[in-house]
Structure 1
Amino acid sequence: MDGRAERLRQARIDKGFETAAAAADAFGWNRNTYASNENGNAPFSYRRAKEYAAAFGVRPEWLYDAAGGMRPAAEGGLAPVIGRVGANPDGIVLFATGHDPGELAPIPPGGTDRAVALRVVGHSMRGVADDGALIYFEDQRTPPTPDMLGHVVVVETDTDEVLVKRLLRGSRPGLYDLESVAGPTRQDARLRWAAHITAIIPPFQARRIIRGAA
């Protein structure tokens, strides 16, 4: 799979579509054409990249040739709330669906146009973030770094799960243990990327600052 196809797949998953067919059906695309674009068998044009980018909320320049950031610069210093986390002990991030109008929240101090937020749902993350809180991170998609060890971070596994977990060393290089705030530790996971949490906004303040996307 080439880089363009891989970015398309990433954009589709981040938007909350589990399969290529689900995305194609939602936006009225031909299933076979879209699947061929995503698996790299049929490279897509910049014109098609603009269509896919608009549907998945990413920049067409990034989708087509990896130029610049993944998402458009946040307008008015706002970051998108891209999903929710903590509804169960697994710490799995549930992304917004393709038809969700979305929510926005102010970028925290030190944040960039790659800042995104997750809304905490439920009480399985008590002690880190309570029900209704916002968790911010920079959506940079870079490998784990040593300074993340021992900290609660946002990660993506090689099985397409995005999780909020405490990052620990695994049994050998390249593998990591993922400790839950509540629940069992997942051992020897392979990760595609990890990101520091840059801010946690308590529930009371989060309710005041979240706004609906235009």
Structure 2
Amino acid sequence: MSAGRDGRAERLREARIARGFETAAAAADAFGWNRNTYASNENGNAPFSYRKAKDYAGALGVRPEWLYDAVGAMRPAIEPGYVPVVGMVGANPEGVVLFALGQEPTDLAPIPPGGTEKAAALRVAGHSMRGVADDGALIYFEDQRTPPTPDMLGHVVVVETDTDEVLVKRLLRGSRTGLYDLESVAGPTRRDARLRWAAHITAIIPPFQARRIIRAGA
């Protein structure tokens, strides 16, 4: 079988089609992936790692365990009208998003006004983001995993760097094309970072209201 005995390539193609992309090239362009690399992963000519499966799964809205090993459901089981609280942010001056690695998000929050089922939420911990979001607030973003766009410049956004860090930073132009400066709410500015994706913040819910609407998991 050209796509390999594990079926990984077929699942990648299934996820891409389910996400609404008619061709591999269209998906690669939308998420900033190398066309040839993605096509080789999808047609089975080049196996991809679990780390890459996490990247693909996040962009295509499926579970990485399903994509890589056919374990469990294709998509996370999220109650209709709710989205996952995927991590905590602001626990230190760097504004790093802390994920529960290897675990499914258990806390849920209602989809915000104007949001979609691709929305996700971050919970603010500590006071390093004072002025943007206070301790206990919820920050929503659309989890689209697409490259930065010009309308994000000058705004506080959620980004992932090529060193696997997810951050909440003000996005600024770097010294040359493809590089970005990341300005902290509190702390030093990171210069000339390479980004995998960036997402606008779509809503910030104050701490009092956030405590009322979060549905805690088991």
TM-score normalised by L of structure 1 = 0.71
For the residue of structure 2 that corresponds to 1:208, the secondary structure is helix
Offset of 1:141 from its aligned partner? 0.4
The answer to whether residue 178 in structure 2 is matched with residue 189 in structure 1 is no
Offset of 1:110 from its aligned partner? 1.0
Q: Distance in 2 between matches of 1:80 and 1:170?
A: 32
Offset of 1:13 from its aligned partner? 8.0
The answer to whether residue 76 in structure 2 is matched with residue 79 in structure 1 is no
Q: Which amino acid aligns with 2:70?
A: K
Q: State the partner residue of 1:146.
A: 150
Q: Which amino acid aligns with 1:9?
A: R
Per the alignment, do residues 90 and 152 of structure 1 end up closer, same or farther by CA in structure 2, a change over 3 Å counting? same
Q: Is the 8 A contact 2:83 2:121 kept in 1?
A: yes
Q: State the partner residue of 2:139.
A: 135
Per the alignment, do residues 157 and 99 of structure 1 end up closer, same or farther by CA in structure 2, a change over 3 Å counting? closer
TM-score normalised by L of structure 2 = 0.69
Structure 1: tracts of 5 or more residues without a match: 16-37, 39-43, 61-70
Q: Is the 8 A contact 1:73 1:113 kept in 2?
A: no
Which residue of 149, 163, 167 maps to 2:167? 163
Which residue of 64, 70, 80 maps to 1:50? 70
Identity %, equivalent residues: 74
Per the alignment, do residues 193 and 47 of structure 1 end up closer, same or farther by CA in structure 2, a change over 3 Å counting? closer
Superimposed CA distance per residue, residues 23-71 of structure 1 (whole angstroms, 9 cap, x where no aligned partner): xxxxxxxxxxxxxxx9xxxxx9x796430xx3xxxx63xxxxxxxxxx5
For the residue of structure 1 that corresponds to 2:86, the secondary structure is strand
For the residue of structure 1 that corresponds to 2:80, the secondary structure is helix
The answer to whether residue 184 in structure 2 is matched with residue 180 in structure 1 is yes
Q: Is the 8 A contact 1:73 1:114 kept in 2?
A: no
Q: What's the RMSD between the two structures over aligned residues?
A: 2.9
Q: Is the 8 A contact 1:74 1:113 kept in 2?
A: no
Superimposed CA distance per residue, residues 123-145 of structure 1 (whole angstroms, 9 cap, x where no aligned partner): 00000000000000011100000
Alignment length (residue pairs) = 170
Q: Which amino acid aligns with 2:85?
A: V
